Amino acid sequence: MSKVRLVAHPAALVGESVRMDGHDVLMLDPPNRRLLRWSTVDGSLRDTLLSIPIWSLGMLPDGSWAGAGEEGFCLIDVRTGAITAGPPAPLGPGCRFNDMTVDACGGLWVGSMHRGLLSGKGGLYYAPRLDAPVMQVADGLGVANGMAFTDGGATLLVVDTLSRTLLAYARSGDAATLQEPVVVTDFLGVPGKPDGMTIAPDGAVWVAMWGGGCIVRLAGNGAVEQMVSIPAPHVGSLAFASDGHAYVSSSRARLSEAVLQANPDSGGLFRVSP
């Protein structure tokens, strides 16, 4: 059985995009324009106010960081919070960027969503580098969320939160062209809706369940083979450290006072021991 422990409680309204930066854990609280950095060494928590909301982070091949702003990619200094914006994306009315990932060549990939959560308005976007024009490469999604490449970059996995599915898009080589998606799983029997997603060191896919209070590990055929409960209803994102520990974000958004009182650690960062 996995051991779950609260390691920091920044009271995040929306805890997003957990990433590892050396011995530190990064986490975003986009509505409040916060970049949080928690040290695994001394347990200190640094809270940096950003100039714009950043919804997700992705490490570039040179070790620098890209961010997904509401309407375009940017370069972000995760130490100081300094942001350099790239070109705006050709987003539809009422839409914004959401979760992102970076491929092995430094290409930037991001999902979008409608601010009013309208079905079919979300899509996927790509830019070969930060200063390059952003192009749309897929449409028809609900809320495009957790993203990661597998199969040596040949497959892009994308969570669609509204449809409660994990999708797999095949691509050829380093091309930006994606094939029609295949449903990997519909999370049958799992509480909540899929949100953030990551690939563990052993290659397994793990997904955070918003409203479900858990993270789940998926088998190669999409079946849920492990579920770990988190003491917060809204679990948004997760990442694995090199030592096998998982760090999991949670949110306080859309929770009543009664629910918050029953789940006081909501908005905190948790560590799951292997």
pLDDT in tens, 202-245: 999 999 999 999 999 999 899 999 999 999 999 999 999 999 99
Instruction: Specify the amino acid at residue 195.
Output: D
Between residues 2 and 26, which one has the greater pLDDT?
26
153 has pLDDT over 80: yes
Task: Give pLDDT, residue 107.
Answer: 97
Using alpha carbons only, what angle is made at residue 112 by residues 207 and 92, rounded to the nearest 5 degrees?
165
Q: Report how far residue 121's alpha carbon sits from residue 115's, in angstroms, rounded to the nearest whole number.
A: 10
Percent of the chain with pLDDT over 90: 96
Residue 110's CATH number: 2.120.10.30
Domain enclosing residue 134, as ranges: 3-273
Q: Which residues of 67-97 are buried (b: 16+ CB within 10 A; e: fewer)?
A: bbbbbbbbbbebeebebebbeebebeeebbb
Q: Which of 189, 139, 136, 187 is nearest to 161 (CA)?
A: 187
List the end-to-end C-alpha distance of the chain, in Å, as a whole number. Answer: 8
Place 2 in a pLDDT band, splitting at 50, 70 and 90. Answer: confident
How many structural domains comprise the chain? 1
Which is it for strands 269-273 and 246-250: parallel, antiparallel or unpaired?
A: antiparallel
35 has pLDDT over 70: yes
Task: Give pLDDT, residue 274.
Answer: 85
pTM of the model: 0.96
139 has pLDDT over 90: yes
**pLDDT single digits (tens) 49-85:** 999 999 999 999 999 999 999 999 999 999 999 999 9
* DSSP-derived secondary structure letter, 257: H
Average pLDDT of the chain?
96
Place 1 in a pLDDT band, splitting at 50, 70 and 90. Answer: low
The length of the chain, given as a count of residues: 274
